[in-house]
Structure 1
Amino acid sequence: TDSSGNCWRASAYIESKTFHRPLNNEQLGQAVEGFARYTALLSDLDPASLYPTIKDFHNLSLRYNQFNESIEKGNPERVKHCAPLIDQLIQREGYARFFLQMQEASADFKKRVMHHDAKLSNLLFDETGTNLLAITDLDTTMPGYFFSDMGDMVRSMAASVDENCVE
Protein backbone atom coordinates (compact mmCIF):
# COMPACT_ATOMS: atom_id res chain seq x y z
CA THR A 1 0.00 0.00 0.00
CA ASP A 2 1.07 3.58 -0.51
CA SER A 3 0.97 6.46 2.01
CA SER A 4 -2.70 7.10 1.11
CA GLY A 5 -3.70 3.51 1.81
CA ASN A 6 -4.12 2.58 -1.87
CA CYS A 7 -3.20 -0.96 -2.85
CA TRP A 8 -0.90 -1.61 -5.77
CA ARG A 9 0.18 -4.78 -7.49
CA ALA A 10 3.23 -5.24 -9.66
CA SER A 11 3.88 -8.09 -12.03
CA ALA A 12 6.43 -8.98 -14.64
CA TYR A 13 5.79 -7.71 -18.15
CA ILE A 14 4.60 -10.45 -20.49
CA GLU A 15 5.26 -9.98 -24.20
CA SER A 16 1.84 -10.78 -25.62
CA LYS A 17 -1.19 -9.87 -27.70
CA THR A 18 -4.80 -9.37 -26.69
CA PHE A 19 -7.86 -9.90 -28.85
CA HIS A 20 -11.38 -8.50 -28.77
CA ARG A 21 -12.73 -11.01 -31.27
CA PRO A 22 -11.66 -14.67 -31.43
CA LEU A 23 -9.40 -15.71 -34.27
CA ASN A 24 -10.85 -19.22 -34.39
CA ASN A 25 -12.43 -21.99 -32.32
CA GLU A 26 -9.04 -23.17 -31.08
CA GLN A 27 -8.41 -19.78 -29.50
CA LEU A 28 -11.86 -19.91 -27.90
CA GLY A 29 -10.97 -23.33 -26.51
CA GLN A 30 -7.79 -21.89 -24.99
CA ALA A 31 -9.84 -19.07 -23.44
CA VAL A 32 -12.43 -21.39 -21.92
CA GLU A 33 -9.75 -23.75 -20.65
CA GLY A 34 -7.83 -20.84 -19.13
CA PHE A 35 -10.79 -19.50 -17.19
CA ALA A 36 -11.72 -23.05 -16.11
CA ARG A 37 -8.19 -23.60 -14.82
CA TYR A 38 -8.29 -20.22 -13.02
CA THR A 39 -11.57 -21.18 -11.32
CA ALA A 40 -10.22 -24.62 -10.37
CA LEU A 41 -7.05 -23.13 -8.88
CA LEU A 42 -9.17 -20.86 -6.68
CA SER A 43 -11.64 -23.58 -5.66
CA ASP A 44 -10.06 -24.08 -2.22
CA LEU A 45 -10.18 -20.37 -1.39
CA ASP A 46 -13.10 -19.51 0.90
CA PRO A 47 -15.28 -16.93 -0.90
CA ALA A 48 -16.15 -15.40 2.48
CA SER A 49 -12.48 -14.42 2.83
CA LEU A 50 -12.84 -11.90 -0.02
CA TYR A 51 -14.83 -8.72 -0.24
CA PRO A 52 -16.79 -7.87 -3.38
CA THR A 53 -14.65 -5.36 -5.26
CA ILE A 54 -17.62 -4.13 -7.31
CA LYS A 55 -20.93 -4.37 -5.45
CA ASP A 56 -23.70 -6.04 -7.48
CA PHE A 57 -21.41 -6.47 -10.50
CA HIS A 58 -23.21 -9.63 -11.70
CA ASN A 59 -26.59 -8.90 -10.10
CA LEU A 60 -28.96 -9.65 -12.99
CA SER A 61 -32.05 -8.68 -10.95
CA LEU A 62 -30.57 -5.24 -10.30
CA ARG A 63 -29.59 -4.83 -13.96
CA TYR A 64 -33.09 -5.77 -15.08
CA ASN A 65 -34.60 -3.27 -12.64
CA GLN A 66 -32.23 -0.60 -14.00
CA PHE A 67 -33.35 -1.52 -17.51
CA ASN A 68 -37.02 -1.03 -16.54
CA GLU A 69 -36.20 2.27 -14.85
CA SER A 70 -34.39 3.48 -17.97
CA ILE A 71 -37.50 2.73 -20.02
CA GLU A 72 -39.67 4.72 -17.61
CA LYS A 73 -37.32 7.68 -17.24
CA GLY A 74 -35.50 7.57 -20.57
CA ASN A 75 -35.73 9.93 -23.51
CA PRO A 76 -39.10 9.08 -25.13
CA GLU A 77 -37.69 9.29 -28.67
CA ARG A 78 -34.83 6.96 -27.82
CA VAL A 79 -37.21 4.51 -26.10
CA LYS A 80 -39.48 4.59 -29.16
CA HIS A 81 -36.52 4.03 -31.50
CA CYS A 82 -35.40 1.03 -29.41
CA ALA A 83 -38.90 -0.44 -28.95
CA PRO A 84 -38.25 -3.70 -30.86
CA LEU A 85 -35.16 -4.48 -28.79
CA ILE A 86 -36.89 -3.38 -25.58
CA ASP A 87 -39.80 -5.72 -26.35
CA GLN A 88 -37.39 -8.63 -26.88
CA LEU A 89 -35.74 -7.96 -23.52
CA ILE A 90 -39.08 -7.64 -21.71
CA GLN A 91 -39.99 -11.09 -23.07
CA ARG A 92 -36.82 -12.42 -21.39
CA GLU A 93 -37.73 -11.18 -17.90
CA GLY A 94 -38.03 -14.81 -16.80
CA TYR A 95 -34.24 -15.11 -17.04
CA ALA A 96 -33.82 -12.56 -14.25
CA ARG A 97 -36.25 -14.51 -12.04
CA PHE A 98 -34.51 -17.78 -12.88
CA PHE A 99 -31.12 -16.23 -12.05
CA LEU A 100 -32.45 -15.23 -8.62
CA GLN A 101 -33.86 -18.74 -8.05
CA MET A 102 -30.47 -20.23 -8.86
CA GLN A 103 -28.76 -17.91 -6.39
CA GLU A 104 -31.26 -18.83 -3.70
CA ALA A 105 -30.71 -22.56 -4.31
CA SER A 106 -27.46 -22.38 -2.35
CA ALA A 107 -27.24 -26.15 -1.88
CA ASP A 108 -27.01 -26.58 -5.65
CA PHE A 109 -25.12 -23.40 -6.56
CA LYS A 110 -22.54 -22.43 -3.99
CA LYS A 111 -20.65 -19.17 -4.04
CA ARG A 112 -17.11 -19.52 -5.33
CA VAL A 113 -14.22 -17.22 -6.07
CA MET A 114 -14.75 -16.21 -9.69
CA HIS A 115 -13.05 -13.87 -12.17
CA HIS A 116 -16.26 -11.93 -13.01
CA ASP A 117 -14.95 -10.46 -16.26
CA ALA A 118 -14.23 -13.61 -18.26
CA LYS A 119 -13.79 -12.12 -21.70
CA LEU A 120 -11.25 -12.63 -24.45
CA SER A 121 -9.66 -9.19 -24.04
CA ASN A 122 -8.68 -10.11 -20.46
CA LEU A 123 -6.38 -12.84 -21.73
CA LEU A 124 -2.79 -12.56 -22.93
CA PHE A 125 -1.83 -14.74 -25.89
CA ASP A 126 1.47 -15.36 -27.65
CA GLU A 127 2.19 -13.57 -30.93
CA THR A 128 0.35 -16.21 -32.95
CA GLY A 129 -2.76 -15.94 -30.79
CA THR A 130 -2.82 -19.69 -30.29
CA ASN A 131 -1.24 -20.11 -26.85
CA LEU A 132 -2.76 -18.57 -23.75
CA LEU A 133 -0.09 -17.02 -21.53
CA ALA A 134 -1.96 -15.30 -18.70
CA ILE A 135 -5.26 -14.00 -17.37
CA THR A 136 -5.49 -10.29 -16.55
CA ASP A 137 -7.93 -7.88 -14.90
CA LEU A 138 -7.76 -9.73 -11.61
CA ASP A 139 -9.32 -6.86 -9.65
CA THR A 140 -12.78 -8.25 -10.44
CA THR A 141 -11.98 -11.59 -8.74
CA MET A 142 -14.50 -11.93 -5.92
CA PRO A 143 -17.24 -14.18 -4.54
CA GLY A 144 -19.86 -15.15 -7.08
CA TYR A 145 -21.49 -17.94 -9.01
CA PHE A 146 -20.06 -20.22 -11.68
CA PHE A 147 -23.15 -19.84 -13.88
CA SER A 148 -22.78 -16.06 -13.80
CA ASP A 149 -19.15 -16.12 -14.93
CA MET A 150 -19.97 -18.74 -17.56
CA GLY A 151 -22.85 -16.63 -18.86
CA ASP A 152 -20.65 -13.55 -19.03
CA MET A 153 -18.00 -15.50 -20.94
CA VAL A 154 -20.53 -16.77 -23.48
CA ARG A 155 -22.06 -13.29 -23.82
CA SER A 156 -18.72 -11.67 -24.51
CA MET A 157 -17.12 -14.37 -26.69
CA ALA A 158 -20.12 -15.39 -28.80
CA ALA A 159 -21.27 -11.87 -29.68
CA SER A 160 -21.17 -10.89 -33.34
CA VAL A 161 -19.72 -7.45 -32.46
CA ASP A 162 -17.28 -6.16 -29.86
CA GLU A 163 -18.90 -5.32 -26.51
CA ASN A 164 -17.81 -1.67 -26.89
CA CYS A 165 -19.62 -1.26 -30.22
CA VAL A 166 -22.16 1.59 -30.01
CA GLU A 167 -24.19 0.62 -33.09
Structure 2
Amino acid sequence: MKAYDCQELCENFKLDGRYISALPYGEGHINDTYLINTTSSRYILQRVNQTVFAHPEEVMHNIILVTDFLHEKIIANCGDPYRETLTLVPTKDGKRYYVTKYGDLFRMYLFISHALCYQTVENPEIFYKSAKAFGHFQNMLKDFPAEQLKETIPAFHNTVSRYQNFKKAVAVDCIGRKKEVEDEIQFVLDREKDASMIVNAIANHEIPLRVTHNDTKLNNVMIDEITGEGLCVIDLDTVMPGSMLFDFGDSIRFGASTAAEDEQDLSTVWMDIGLFEQYTKGYLEELGNAITAKEAELLPFSAKLMTLECGTRFLTDYLEGDHYFKVHRPRHNLDRARTQFKLVADMESKLGQMQEIVQKYFCSSNGF
Protein backbone atom coordinates (compact mmCIF):
# COMPACT_ATOMS: atom_id res chain seq x y z
CA MET A 1 0.00 0.00 0.00
CA LYS A 2 1.59 3.28 -1.14
CA ALA A 3 1.69 6.49 0.89
CA TYR A 4 -0.89 8.24 -1.28
CA ASP A 5 -3.29 5.37 -0.64
CA CYS A 6 -2.84 5.98 3.07
CA GLN A 7 -3.59 9.65 2.64
CA GLU A 8 -6.80 8.83 0.80
CA LEU A 9 -7.77 6.35 3.50
CA CYS A 10 -7.03 8.86 6.25
CA GLU A 11 -9.57 11.24 4.76
CA ASN A 12 -12.27 8.84 5.95
CA PHE A 13 -11.28 9.17 9.63
CA LYS A 14 -11.70 12.02 12.12
CA LEU A 15 -8.05 13.00 12.53
CA ASP A 16 -6.58 16.08 14.17
CA GLY A 17 -4.38 18.10 11.86
CA ARG A 18 -3.37 17.77 8.25
CA TYR A 19 -1.91 14.55 6.83
CA ILE A 20 1.89 14.56 6.51
CA SER A 21 3.14 10.99 6.02
CA ALA A 22 2.63 7.26 6.43
CA LEU A 23 5.43 4.86 7.36
CA PRO A 24 5.41 1.06 7.77
CA TYR A 25 5.39 0.37 11.49
CA GLY A 26 6.15 -2.47 13.91
CA GLU A 27 7.29 -6.06 13.50
CA GLY A 28 3.92 -7.79 13.15
CA HIS A 29 3.43 -10.34 10.38
CA ILE A 30 -0.37 -10.46 10.15
CA ASN A 31 -1.83 -7.02 9.44
CA ASP A 32 -0.48 -4.15 7.33
CA THR A 33 0.40 -1.44 9.85
CA TYR A 34 1.36 2.21 9.28
CA LEU A 35 2.33 5.10 11.49
CA ILE A 36 0.36 8.13 10.36
CA ASN A 37 1.81 11.57 11.06
CA THR A 38 -0.34 14.70 10.92
CA THR A 39 0.45 18.29 11.81
CA SER A 40 -1.16 17.74 15.23
CA SER A 41 -0.87 14.08 16.18
CA ARG A 42 0.12 10.50 15.34
CA TYR A 43 -2.05 7.47 14.64
CA ILE A 44 -1.79 3.78 13.77
CA LEU A 45 -3.58 2.68 10.58
CA GLN A 46 -4.11 -1.04 10.02
CA ARG A 47 -5.60 -3.26 7.37
CA VAL A 48 -7.03 -6.41 8.96
CA ASN A 49 -5.68 -9.53 7.25
CA GLN A 50 -8.72 -11.34 5.87
CA THR A 51 -6.72 -14.47 5.07
CA VAL A 52 -6.25 -15.01 8.80
CA PHE A 53 -9.54 -13.40 9.86
CA ALA A 54 -12.23 -14.43 7.40
CA HIS A 55 -14.80 -12.24 9.16
CA PRO A 56 -12.96 -9.03 10.09
CA GLU A 57 -16.17 -7.35 11.21
CA GLU A 58 -16.36 -9.94 14.00
CA VAL A 59 -12.81 -9.06 15.02
CA MET A 60 -13.88 -5.43 15.24
CA HIS A 61 -17.05 -6.37 17.13
CA ASN A 62 -14.88 -7.91 19.84
CA ILE A 63 -12.36 -5.07 19.92
CA ILE A 64 -15.07 -2.42 20.17
CA LEU A 65 -16.82 -4.18 23.05
CA VAL A 66 -13.62 -4.82 24.99
CA THR A 67 -12.00 -1.41 24.51
CA ASP A 68 -15.22 0.45 25.34
CA PHE A 69 -15.53 -1.62 28.51
CA LEU A 70 -11.89 -0.97 29.44
CA HIS A 71 -12.24 2.76 28.79
CA GLU A 72 -15.09 2.97 31.28
CA LYS A 73 -13.20 0.91 33.87
CA ILE A 74 -10.04 2.98 33.52
CA ILE A 75 -11.94 6.26 33.87
CA ALA A 76 -13.72 4.92 36.96
CA ASN A 77 -10.29 4.09 38.42
CA CYS A 78 -9.04 7.63 37.64
CA GLY A 79 -6.62 6.35 35.00
CA ASP A 80 -5.81 7.56 31.49
CA PRO A 81 -7.89 5.54 29.00
CA TYR A 82 -5.97 6.95 26.04
CA ARG A 83 -2.72 5.42 27.29
CA GLU A 84 -3.88 2.39 29.26
CA THR A 85 -5.85 0.74 26.46
CA LEU A 86 -6.28 1.03 22.71
CA THR A 87 -8.53 3.79 21.40
CA LEU A 88 -10.26 3.46 18.04
CA VAL A 89 -10.58 6.63 16.00
CA PRO A 90 -14.06 6.96 14.46
CA THR A 91 -14.71 7.51 10.79
CA LYS A 92 -16.37 10.70 9.62
CA ASP A 93 -19.71 8.89 9.47
CA GLY A 94 -19.37 7.72 13.08
CA LYS A 95 -18.26 4.13 12.53
CA ARG A 96 -15.26 2.44 14.17
CA TYR A 97 -13.71 1.10 11.00
CA TYR A 98 -13.74 1.76 7.27
CA VAL A 99 -14.41 -0.77 4.50
CA THR A 100 -13.15 0.05 1.01
CA LYS A 101 -15.07 -0.66 -2.18
CA TYR A 102 -12.79 -3.70 -2.57
CA GLY A 103 -13.88 -5.07 0.81
CA ASP A 104 -10.67 -4.33 2.73
CA LEU A 105 -11.26 -3.34 6.35
CA PHE A 106 -9.17 -0.56 7.88
CA ARG A 107 -9.09 0.77 11.42
CA MET A 108 -7.31 3.67 13.08
CA TYR A 109 -5.93 3.79 16.64
CA LEU A 110 -4.55 6.69 18.61
CA PHE A 111 -0.76 6.35 18.81
CA ILE A 112 0.49 5.74 22.36
CA SER A 113 3.60 7.86 22.78
CA HIS A 114 6.54 7.39 25.17
CA ALA A 115 6.01 3.64 25.28
CA LEU A 116 7.86 0.68 23.80
CA CYS A 117 7.55 -3.07 23.24
CA TYR A 118 10.25 -5.65 23.94
CA GLN A 119 10.73 -8.45 21.44
CA THR A 120 12.60 -10.80 23.80
CA VAL A 121 12.81 -11.44 27.54
CA GLU A 122 15.97 -9.41 28.15
CA ASN A 123 15.75 -9.87 31.92
CA PRO A 124 13.34 -11.33 34.51
CA GLU A 125 12.02 -7.89 35.48
CA ILE A 126 10.62 -7.31 31.99
CA PHE A 127 8.87 -10.68 32.06
CA TYR A 128 7.46 -9.84 35.50
CA LYS A 129 6.09 -6.52 34.24
CA SER A 130 4.49 -8.15 31.21
CA ALA A 131 2.81 -10.62 33.59
CA LYS A 132 1.45 -7.74 35.65
CA ALA A 133 0.08 -6.13 32.49
CA PHE A 134 -1.70 -9.30 31.34
CA GLY A 135 -2.92 -10.00 34.88
CA HIS A 136 -4.28 -6.47 35.10
CA PHE A 137 -5.94 -6.88 31.69
CA GLN A 138 -7.64 -10.06 32.91
CA ASN A 139 -8.66 -8.47 36.21
CA MET A 140 -10.20 -5.44 34.49
CA LEU A 141 -12.29 -7.78 32.33
CA LYS A 142 -13.33 -10.18 35.12
CA ASP A 143 -16.95 -9.02 34.98
CA PHE A 144 -17.17 -8.65 31.19
CA PRO A 145 -19.82 -11.00 29.71
CA ALA A 146 -17.47 -13.16 27.62
CA GLU A 147 -20.37 -14.86 25.84
CA GLN A 148 -20.93 -11.59 23.93
CA LEU A 149 -17.67 -12.09 22.05
CA LYS A 150 -17.38 -13.82 18.68
CA GLU A 151 -15.08 -16.79 18.14
CA THR A 152 -13.04 -15.16 15.38
CA ILE A 153 -10.78 -18.19 14.90
CA PRO A 154 -12.95 -21.27 15.51
CA ALA A 155 -11.49 -23.88 17.90
CA PHE A 156 -8.32 -21.80 18.33
CA HIS A 157 -7.42 -23.34 21.70
CA ASN A 158 -9.77 -26.30 21.52
CA THR A 159 -7.12 -28.81 22.49
CA VAL A 160 -9.49 -31.73 21.92
CA SER A 161 -10.00 -30.61 18.32
CA ARG A 162 -6.23 -30.14 17.86
CA TYR A 163 -5.66 -33.68 19.15
CA GLN A 164 -8.28 -35.12 16.80
CA ASN A 165 -6.65 -33.32 13.86
CA PHE A 166 -3.33 -34.84 14.89
CA LYS A 167 -4.75 -38.38 15.04
CA LYS A 168 -6.28 -37.92 11.61
CA ALA A 169 -2.93 -36.76 10.19
CA VAL A 170 -1.25 -39.84 11.68
CA ALA A 171 -3.89 -42.18 10.25
CA VAL A 172 -3.80 -40.68 6.76
CA ASP A 173 0.00 -40.19 6.60
CA CYS A 174 -0.52 -38.38 3.32
CA ILE A 175 3.15 -37.94 2.37
CA GLY A 176 4.71 -40.89 4.17
CA ARG A 177 6.46 -39.16 7.06
CA LYS A 178 4.86 -41.18 9.84
CA LYS A 179 7.63 -43.78 10.07
CA GLU A 180 10.36 -41.25 10.88
CA VAL A 181 8.42 -39.60 13.73
CA GLU A 182 7.12 -42.61 15.63
CA ASP A 183 8.69 -41.42 18.91
CA GLU A 184 7.10 -37.98 18.60
CA ILE A 185 3.72 -39.50 17.72
CA GLN A 186 3.89 -41.74 20.78
CA PHE A 187 4.82 -38.75 22.95
CA VAL A 188 1.52 -37.08 22.03
CA LEU A 189 -0.55 -40.28 22.24
CA ASP A 190 0.75 -40.90 25.76
CA ARG A 191 -0.77 -37.56 26.83
CA GLU A 192 -4.19 -37.95 25.23
CA LYS A 193 -6.02 -37.35 28.52
CA ASP A 194 -4.38 -33.94 28.89
CA ALA A 195 -6.12 -32.59 25.79
CA SER A 196 -9.59 -32.55 27.32
CA MET A 197 -8.83 -31.28 30.82
CA ILE A 198 -9.34 -27.52 30.42
CA VAL A 199 -11.96 -27.80 27.66
CA ASN A 200 -14.02 -30.09 29.89
CA ALA A 201 -13.49 -27.86 32.93
CA ILE A 202 -15.08 -24.97 31.02
CA ALA A 203 -17.93 -27.13 29.69
CA ASN A 204 -18.65 -28.48 33.18
CA HIS A 205 -18.54 -24.97 34.71
CA GLU A 206 -15.63 -25.94 36.95
CA ILE A 207 -13.86 -22.81 35.72
CA PRO A 208 -15.46 -19.65 34.29
CA LEU A 209 -15.65 -18.62 30.66
CA ARG A 210 -13.56 -15.45 30.39
CA VAL A 211 -12.27 -12.90 27.94
CA THR A 212 -8.93 -14.19 26.70
CA HIS A 213 -6.26 -12.37 24.71
CA ASN A 214 -4.88 -15.48 22.98
CA ASP A 215 -1.58 -13.91 21.93
CA THR A 216 0.14 -13.12 25.22
CA LYS A 217 3.63 -12.60 23.85
CA LEU A 218 5.95 -10.08 25.47
CA ASN A 219 5.75 -7.75 22.48
CA ASN A 220 2.02 -7.29 22.97
CA VAL A 221 2.60 -5.26 26.13
CA MET A 222 3.57 -1.60 25.88
CA ILE A 223 6.01 -0.48 28.59
CA ASP A 224 5.99 3.14 29.76
CA GLU A 225 9.36 4.68 28.84
CA ILE A 226 9.33 6.93 31.92
CA THR A 227 8.06 4.64 34.69
CA GLY A 228 9.23 1.34 33.18
CA GLU A 229 5.89 -0.21 34.11
CA GLY A 230 3.52 -2.19 31.90
CA LEU A 231 1.14 0.32 30.40
CA CYS A 232 -1.18 -1.21 27.82
CA VAL A 233 -2.00 -4.61 26.31
CA ILE A 234 -2.19 -4.36 22.52
CA ASP A 235 -3.00 -6.56 19.49
CA LEU A 236 -6.56 -7.46 20.43
CA ASP A 237 -7.42 -9.25 17.18
CA THR A 238 -7.57 -12.64 18.87
CA VAL A 239 -9.62 -11.54 21.89
CA MET A 240 -12.25 -14.27 22.28
CA PRO A 241 -14.15 -16.21 24.92
CA GLY A 242 -12.03 -18.88 26.58
CA SER A 243 -9.99 -19.53 29.72
CA MET A 244 -7.33 -17.38 31.34
CA LEU A 245 -5.35 -20.63 31.52
CA PHE A 246 -4.77 -20.42 27.77
CA ASP A 247 -3.18 -16.98 28.16
CA PHE A 248 -1.06 -17.87 31.17
CA GLY A 249 0.10 -21.16 29.69
CA ASP A 250 1.10 -19.67 26.36
CA SER A 251 3.04 -16.88 28.08
CA ILE A 252 5.12 -19.47 29.93
CA ARG A 253 5.60 -21.57 26.80
CA PHE A 254 6.92 -18.59 24.88
CA GLY A 255 8.66 -16.54 27.55
CA ALA A 256 10.14 -19.01 30.05
CA SER A 257 11.85 -21.23 27.48
CA THR A 258 15.65 -21.07 27.40
CA ALA A 259 15.78 -21.54 23.64
CA ALA A 260 14.21 -20.46 20.37
CA GLU A 261 11.03 -22.15 19.23
CA ASP A 262 12.90 -24.06 16.53
CA GLU A 263 16.14 -24.84 18.41
CA GLN A 264 17.81 -27.97 17.01
CA ASP A 265 20.13 -28.58 19.97
CA LEU A 266 17.66 -29.98 22.49
CA SER A 267 20.29 -29.98 25.25
CA THR A 268 19.79 -26.20 25.46
CA VAL A 269 16.00 -26.41 25.83
CA TRP A 270 14.26 -26.26 29.20
CA MET A 271 11.81 -24.13 31.16
CA ASP A 272 13.51 -21.52 33.34
CA ILE A 273 11.83 -22.00 36.73
CA GLY A 274 12.99 -18.53 37.81
CA LEU A 275 11.16 -16.94 34.90
CA PHE A 276 8.11 -19.08 35.68
CA GLU A 277 8.16 -17.68 39.21
CA GLN A 278 8.52 -14.08 38.04
CA TYR A 279 5.59 -14.40 35.66
CA THR A 280 3.40 -16.21 38.20
CA LYS A 281 4.18 -13.56 40.82
CA GLY A 282 3.26 -10.65 38.54
CA TYR A 283 0.17 -12.31 37.12
CA LEU A 284 -1.32 -13.32 40.48
CA GLU A 285 -0.43 -10.03 42.16
CA GLU A 286 -2.62 -8.23 39.64
CA LEU A 287 -5.41 -10.82 39.61
CA GLY A 288 -5.86 -10.97 43.38
CA ASN A 289 -9.17 -12.67 44.15
CA ALA A 290 -10.30 -12.49 40.50
CA ILE A 291 -8.89 -15.98 39.92
CA THR A 292 -10.68 -19.03 41.30
CA ALA A 293 -8.93 -21.71 43.34
CA LYS A 294 -9.54 -24.23 40.53
CA GLU A 295 -7.96 -21.93 37.94
CA ALA A 296 -4.96 -21.40 40.20
CA GLU A 297 -4.62 -25.15 40.66
CA LEU A 298 -4.50 -25.60 36.87
CA LEU A 299 -1.96 -22.84 36.12
CA PRO A 300 1.11 -25.15 36.10
CA PHE A 301 -0.76 -27.70 33.97
CA SER A 302 -1.81 -24.96 31.54
CA ALA A 303 1.83 -24.20 30.74
CA LYS A 304 2.38 -27.84 29.87
CA LEU A 305 -0.86 -28.09 27.89
CA MET A 306 -0.27 -25.00 25.75
CA THR A 307 3.24 -26.22 24.98
CA LEU A 308 1.94 -29.68 24.12
CA GLU A 309 -0.75 -28.15 21.92
CA CYS A 310 1.81 -26.06 20.04
CA GLY A 311 4.13 -29.02 19.53
CA THR A 312 1.22 -31.17 18.37
CA ARG A 313 0.26 -28.53 15.81
CA PHE A 314 3.84 -28.43 14.48
CA LEU A 315 3.94 -32.23 14.25
CA THR A 316 0.52 -32.35 12.57
CA ASP A 317 1.69 -29.84 9.97
CA TYR A 318 4.86 -31.85 9.38
CA LEU A 319 2.81 -35.00 8.78
CA GLU A 320 0.52 -33.12 6.39
CA GLY A 321 3.32 -31.62 4.31
CA ASP A 322 4.13 -28.26 5.96
CA HIS A 323 1.17 -26.32 4.59
CA TYR A 324 0.22 -24.16 7.58
CA PHE A 325 3.39 -22.88 9.26
CA LYS A 326 6.06 -21.25 7.13
CA VAL A 327 9.21 -23.38 6.97
CA HIS A 328 12.73 -22.24 6.11
CA ARG A 329 14.58 -25.55 6.05
CA PRO A 330 13.86 -29.28 5.71
CA ARG A 331 12.22 -30.77 8.83
CA HIS A 332 11.70 -27.28 10.26
CA ASN A 333 8.30 -28.16 11.70
CA LEU A 334 9.73 -31.35 13.16
CA ASP A 335 12.46 -29.34 14.89
CA ARG A 336 9.79 -27.05 16.28
CA ALA A 337 7.74 -29.98 17.54
CA ARG A 338 10.75 -31.60 19.21
CA THR A 339 11.62 -28.34 20.96
CA GLN A 340 8.10 -28.03 22.34
CA PHE A 341 8.05 -31.66 23.46
CA LYS A 342 11.39 -31.20 25.25
CA LEU A 343 9.82 -28.26 27.08
CA VAL A 344 6.79 -30.37 27.98
CA ALA A 345 9.00 -33.09 29.44
CA ASP A 346 10.95 -30.53 31.45
CA MET A 347 7.75 -28.96 32.76
CA GLU A 348 6.52 -32.39 33.83
CA SER A 349 9.72 -32.89 35.83
CA LYS A 350 9.24 -29.50 37.52
CA LEU A 351 5.50 -29.72 38.11
CA GLY A 352 5.90 -29.97 41.88
CA GLN A 353 8.02 -26.81 41.99
CA MET A 354 5.55 -25.00 39.75
CA GLN A 355 2.65 -25.95 42.00
CA GLU A 356 4.50 -24.68 45.09
CA ILE A 357 5.20 -21.36 43.37
CA VAL A 358 1.58 -20.91 42.32
CA GLN A 359 0.33 -21.78 45.80
CA LYS A 360 2.75 -19.30 47.36
CA TYR A 361 1.58 -16.33 45.28
CA PHE A 362 -2.07 -17.36 45.17
CA CYS A 363 -2.14 -17.36 48.97
CA SER A 364 -0.24 -14.08 49.35
CA SER A 365 -2.38 -12.34 46.71
CA ASN A 366 -5.55 -13.43 48.50
CA GLY A 367 -4.36 -12.63 52.02
CA PHE A 368 -4.13 -16.24 53.19
C-alpha contact 1:115 1:149 (8 A) present in aligned 2 = yes
The alignment partner of 1:140 has SS state of: coil
Q: Deviations over 1:71-100 (max 9, x none)?
A: 222332x32222222211111111112233
**Distance apart, 1:133 and its partner CA:** 3.5
Over 3 Å counting, the alpha-carbon distance change for 1:51 and 1:18 in structure 2 is: same
Whole-Å Cα distance in 1 between the matches of residues 261 and 221 of structure 2?
15
How many residue pairs match? The answer is 163
Whole-Å Cα distance in 1 between the matches of residues 172 and 112 of structure 2?
46
- Determine the structure 1 residue equivalent to 2:137: 38
What are the residue-to-residue correspondences of 1:49-60 with 2, within 5 Å? 49-60=148-159
What are the residue-to-residue correspondences of 1:54-133 with 2, within 5 Å? 54-74=153-173, 75-76=175-176, 78-106=177-205, 108-125=206-223, 131-133=229-231
Question: TM-score scaled to structure 2, two decimals?
Answer: 0.40
C-alpha contact 2:99 2:106 (8 A) present in aligned 1 = no
Question: TM-score scaled to structure 1, two decimals?
Answer: 0.82
Whole-Å Cα distance in 2 between the matches of residues 42 and 53 of structure 1?
19
Whole-Å Cα distance in 2 between the matches of residues 2 and 116 of structure 1?
25
Q: Does 1:147 align with 2:251?
A: no
**Distance apart, 1:124 and its partner CA:** 2.9
The one of the two structures with greater contact order (alpha-carbon pairs below 8 A, sep at least 6) is 1
State the one-letter code of the partner of 1:70.
A
The alignment partner of 1:113 has SS state of: strand
**Distance apart, 1:101 and its partner CA:** 2.3
C-alpha contact 2:212 2:246 (8 A) present in aligned 1 = no
**Distance apart, 1:122 and its partner CA:** 2.0
Instruction: Work out which of the two has the higher radius of gyration on C-alpha atoms and give 1 or 2.
Output: 2
Q: Does 1:2 align with 2:93?
A: no
Q: Does 1:136 align with 2:219?
A: no
Provide structure 2 residue ranges, at least 5 long, that are not aligned to the other structure.
1-96, 264-331, 336-368
Whole-Å Cα distance in 1 between the matches of residues 167 and 153 of structure 2?
22
**Distance apart, 1:61 and its partner CA:** 0.6
**Distance apart, 1:127 and its partner CA:** 6.7
The alignment partner of 1:8 has SS state of: strand
Percent identity of equivalent pairs: 27
**Distance apart, 1:44 and its partner CA:** 2.1
C-alpha contact 2:117 2:218 (8 A) present in aligned 1 = no
**Distance apart, 1:156 and its partner CA:** 1.8
Provide structure 1 residue ranges, at least 5 long, that are not aligned to the other structure.
none
Range with bigger deviation, 142-151 or 154-163 = 154-163
Question: How well do the aligned residues superpose, as a CA RMSD in angstroms?
Answer: 2.5
Moved over 6 A (4+): none
Range with bigger deviation, 88-97 or 132-141 = 132-141
Q: Does 1:16 align with 2:112?
A: no
Over 3 Å counting, the alpha-carbon distance change for 1:109 and 1:29 in structure 2 is: same
State the one-letter code of the partner of 1:124.
M
